[in-house]
Each structure stands twice: as C-alpha cells, then as structure tokens.
Amino acid sequence: MTNGIWGEEELYLDGPFQLIPGTHFDLMISNREDKVIIAINGQPAFEYKHRHDPKTIDSLQINGGVVLTSIRYEYK
C-alpha cells in the first residue's frame, strides 16, 4: 500500500502453496535493498520488488485467523 492505495496484486508463486489450515509454519520476511523475499518453512515462496524506498518500511500488519507464537528480528 502506498499513500493509502493498494497497488497491483502480485500473483506469482515460486512453488506450491505451502500453508494448510490448522498447521504450524515458519514464515521469514527478508527486506533486501531491491526486494522483499518471503520464505515458508525455509523454502522461497514469493519475491516482491520494492515500489518505494525499503528504508521507509516500519510496520507489519497481519490479518485473519493466525496465532502468532514468536517474532525474531534480525538486521544484516
């Protein structure tokens, strides 16, 4: 979302959709200089090119039926 407006939805998936209702999973979000990389259970799943300066990302919003058990922040 940029300036309160959602951009075009990116639908490309690098592999099979790995989330199954009622199961545990590990989600990694890596904010790189040129893109965001999402991995599920250690396997790459999505890549999104930045649409604005990645240094301005300061929050993450999770909606839906998810029970969050832990968060780890790592800066490299």
Query: Read out DSSP for 52-72?
Result: S-GGG-------SS-------
Ordered by start, the domain boundaries in the chain are 7-15+22-76
Q: Answer whether residue 76 shows pLDDT above 60.
A: no
- Report yes or no on whether pTM surpasses 0.85: no
Neighbouring residues of 52: CB distance < 8 A, sequence distance ≥ 6: 2
pLDDT in tens, 27-57: 888 888 888 888 888 888 888 888 888 888 7
pLDDT in tens, 11-34: 666 666 667 888 888 888 888 888
